[in-house]
Amino acid sequence: MAYAATCIALLAVPVLAQYPEGSLYSPPISSGYGNWSAAYAKAHAFVCNLTITEKVNLTTQTGTGASYGYSLGIIPRVGFRGLALDDSPTGVRSTDYSSAFTAPLNMAMTWDRDLIYAQAYANGAEHKAKGVNIAYSPVVGPLGRSPESGRIWEGYSPDPYLSGVSFGLTVAGMNAAGTIAVGKHFVLYEQEHFRQVREWNDWHLPNATFNTTEPYSSNADDRTLHELYLWPWYDAVHDGMASVMCSYNQLNNTQACQNNHLLNDILKGEMGFQGFIVSDDGSQHSGVLSALAGMDMTILGETSPNGELGLGISFWGPNLTQSVLNGSVPEWRLDDMATRIMAAYYYLDQDQNFPELNFAQGDLSTFGYLYPRAMAGYQQINEHVDVRDHHADIIRRVGANSIIMLKNINNTLPLNKPKQIAIIGEDAGPSIYGPNGCPDRGCDNGTLAMGWGSGSTNFPYLIDPLAAIQTQAIQDRSVVQYVLDDYDTALIDSVVAQATVCLVFINCDSGEGYIEIDGNYGDRKNLTAWLRGDDLVNEVAGNCSNTVVIAHTPGPIIMEPWIEHPNVTAVLMAGLPGQESGNALVDVLYGAVNPSGKTPWTIGKRREDYGTDVMYVANAPVPQLNFTEGLFIDYRHFDQAGIEPRFEFGFGLSFTTFSYSNLRIQPASAASSTSASASTAAASAQITVNPSVCPRYALNASAYTFPSTISSLTDYIYPYLPRNSSFTVGPAYPSASVVAVAPGTPGGAPELWDTMYTVTVSVANTGSVAGQEVAQLYLALGNGEPVRQLRGFNKTMIEAGASTDVSFTVRQRDLSIWDVPGQSWVDVRTLGTAVGVSVGASSRDLRLNGTMAAIGGGGSAAGNYSASVTAATTSPIGPVVTEYSDGQPQVPTEYSDGQVQVPATATS
């Protein structure tokens, strides 16, 4: 298709606008594939019975702070009470009697599929029990291009495979509990700096005046986009993700939430996403355009592009009603928006006994105004429902099993009834302000167990390390001395001099860009420990020959100032462990849990070694973040550049040791034949569907103006046109008869998920205690790919002296690279490439090596497509909107006030 070819060529070059002149808007209609079909049937029936304003009500939130009730979709005529929405990946945000889970980072640090799923399920169950239909979690954007990126702890790992598994399992777990998991932020949202104009122009950073005019643009080529940043999204779509949040940033200079290629072609087309796309708070920058480009729901509801408050004014709401009536947005697009939202609702069985919303996000009072801006509806707004169940156990298990032991000499750990323990550092104890002392955890006082921003939640309690260690010490009859003031060196010196073991606690923090701590504007400004952490460790180690360092961090830190100090005998990284922090740490410190966490990122020796960084000073009014490193972030970069890390990706010690032997690489039946793959291409031929378009409603203004029976509330967004509106009904779009959809099940071409090989190794526990090993599979795909890439992991408990077989499943996608000209995934074996196979204990501790044979006749990625797994293609035959080269649609257009202008001649 000529359009695709031109578009691809441009995508391969960073910085250029994404669309060539003349490209098309191509919103596909989903008819509900696979296990979505029943949900779609119900959604169609529901939506076709709604009026235009009722459908608009499903798409547009009622406005920030205008209501503590249901956020959208309140349709009394059909008895639909509406939908409630809330954050976050660490728990139900800004309420009480709910859990403070570990950061998702810790889930990834466990490399344990069962624990990831268990915590996700628990988080989903708490949202449901509070009455939250739609939970803004999990996060895989940022992926972790830069280790300083403020929100990386809300996600998992810069490795797309580890992130993909974790992301998919989190979606599956939350969904299974009954809450709609919202995967966010789509996509290339890799730093906080310059994500919104007002936020960053208001910061007035020292020595910098920004004056940006638009959010930053992440400019990435198509192959990098697919193989790195989109990879985990395939997992989540495959695992049933029912909602996606589009991000603040631009992608190749088009806003993510109005990016037709990204939302319509890739997410809804190529990946076969069946659910709905929701904006972030203020990431919607247009009305008609975002609707045509594939956005289905606006949170906040208010305009607020770039962070300006648009109290009560919406791009959608009444403007969407008007846009449909005047022909700017086809009614079938509105139907598809509403259908996708309701399909997600039915997909998660939310029509079956879903609890009532029973709290007011951000207000813990029992009584208050349901409509605070209007000071109306005084009533009970919080029932204080305790939804925590047995989840503390899960949080403690994730916490303990995520701890990464980086160093342990002289068998320092586990501790065995030490005679005298010195505990040093503010990070060991409670904050004098309490665990919830700062809004959205926007400070670093006392022990750090959570990052800051919308990914935070309230602690119901926080077990700090000091409290937990003292509890253990009482049983052991140990003496415990402590100094929580990092700066009282004299006291520290005297206390540690008496100790058998010195536990020194350090941390650093990061979070979302609307909060700044000590010059860290969301993104960290450096990779070192905070509060003189490096000096503190050296201070303690200088006076204590048995110093154990414990670090609470949102990502990697530089450890060079102290890691080789001979008195630093053990080092534990504990991530951000949530409410059970101290208990989880004690489990590992004293050996009740043998450490089994592995690094989900590389720990470099110098910040520069990562090769990527946050852009701290805007390089243009529309900051241009060029992903020139392509596929080479984190260990992919260290390997390619030949840089020695301090601790490589996938590293972590245990109290025992493991040996590896007997590598077996077994092709799955019929897996390695080219014909099996070739048939895939045929299966991906375009599919033409005839969606059942709902009957069109009367197009007269009076049916959609503000009803006389309702009096309007301050700042509350309604779907109605103003009373006495008069307008001309615009030209009708043709009904959508031909629509692009992905071939087959969600997650792209089904063959991507076919098993090609099973790789098996024997792992033996050669030490004297039982322990869990995370065996890791890496593949070398040639063709300009990274030296090695994680393509499997398996965490297994092995008794001392025992041996077990550990297997990895290698799917078609694991062997494939993204072929840009062909717009398809290509199995590198068909390009004449033999795939290198390595299995080991980390990315640089590879114990066994083998090969998967080439099966093709050779050629470059651009040459041989006979065995390609073709992704979905799209066929925009319905309404098409031509775009000017500046990225604006020719028809229809919008005035700057968000009102829609219908031009004299419509195109179709």
Helix (H) or strand (E) holding 277: strand 276-279
Helical ranges in 546-621 per DSSP H: 581-589
Token match 């965490």: residue?
A: 795
Contact string (CB under 6 A) for ligand BGC, positions 273-302, x = contact: -------xx---------------------
Of residues 243 and 507, the one with the C-beta less far from ligand BGC = 243
Q: Is the dihedral of CA 444, 447, 450, 454 positive or negative?
A: negative
Q: How far is the CB of 340 from ligand BGC (least distance, A)?
A: 19
- Calculate the CA dihedral of residues 627, 628, 630, 633 and round it to 10 degrees: -70
Q: Which residues pair with 816 in a beta bridge?
A: 827
Rounded CA-CA distance 818/225 in Å is 9
Q: How far is the CB of 577 from ligand BGC (least distance, A)?
A: 21
256: which DSSP letter?
Answer: G
Work out whether 190 is an interface residue with ligand BGC (CB under 6 A). Answer: no
Q: Which residues pair with 516 in a beta bridge?
A: 521
Work out whether 133 is an interface residue with ligand BGC (CB under 6 A). Answer: no
CA 68 to chain centre: 26
Q: What is the residue type of 47?
A: V
Specify the pairing of strand 217-219 against strand 250-251.
parallel
Q: What are phi and psi of 871, to 5 degrees?
A: -80, 175
Of residues 253 and 454, the one with the C-beta less far from ligand BGC = 454
**Comparing C-alpha atoms, which of 80, 95, 168 is closest to residue 132?**
95
Give the count of alpha carbons within 13 A of 462, CB side only. 29
Give the count of alpha carbons within 13 A of 689, CB side only. 17
For 839-888, give the secondary structure using H, E and C.
Answer: EEEECCEEEEEEEECCCCCCCCCCCCCCCCEECCCCCCCCCCCCECCCCC
Rounded CA-CA distance 41/33 in Å is 11
Among 42, 128, 184, 524, binds ligand BGC (CB under 6 A): 184
489 by DSSP, 3-state: which? helix
- How far, in Å, are 225, 244, 335, 512 from residue 219 at the CA level? 9, 21, 33, 21
Q: How far is the CB of 136 from ligand BGC (least distance, A)?
A: 4
| Token representation of residue 10 | 């441009």
Cβ contacts of 363 within 8 Å, gap of 6 or more? 68, 372, 381, 382
Cβ contacts of 182 within 8 Å, gap of 6 or more? 134, 135, 136, 137, 243, 244, 245, 278
Q: What are phi and psi of 423, to 5 degrees?
A: -115, 120
Answer whether 506's CB lies under 8 Å from 563's CB: no
Rounded CA-CA distance 83/72 in Å is 6
Q: How far is the CB of 184 from ligand BGC (least distance, A)?
A: 5
- Return the beta strands (E) in 115-174 as ranges: 134-136
Q: How far is the CB of 189 from ligand BGC (least distance, A)?
A: 8
How many chain residues interact with ligand BGC (CB under 6 A)? 6
Q: How many CB atoms lie within 10 A of CB 500?
A: 16
Q: How far is the CB of 61 from ligand BGC (least distance, A)?
A: 10
Give the DSSP per-residue string, 508-560.
---B-TT-EETTEESS-S-SS-STTHHHHHHHHHTT-SSEEEEEE-SS----T
Bond preceding residue 88 cis, omega within 30 of 0: yes
Cβ contacts of 291 within 8 Å, gap of 6 or more? 316, 320, 323, 329, 333, 334, 337
Q: Indicate the burial class of 897 (C-beta count within 10 angstroms; 0-12, 13-18, 19 or more).
A: exposed
Work out whether 54 is an interface residue with ligand BGC (CB under 6 A). Answer: no
Among 54, 87, 112, 159, binds ligand BGC (CB under 6 A): 87
Contact string (CB under 6 A) for ligand BGC, positions 315-354, x = contact: ----------------------------------------
Among 68, 117, 136, 825, binds ligand BGC (CB under 6 A): 136
Catalytic center residues: 280
Q: How far is the CB of 522 from ligand BGC (least distance, A)?
A: 10
Q: What is the residue type of 754?
A: D
Among 67, 260, 454, 677, binds ligand BGC (CB under 6 A): 454
Residues within the interface to ligand BGC (CB under 6 A): 87, 136, 184, 280-281, 454
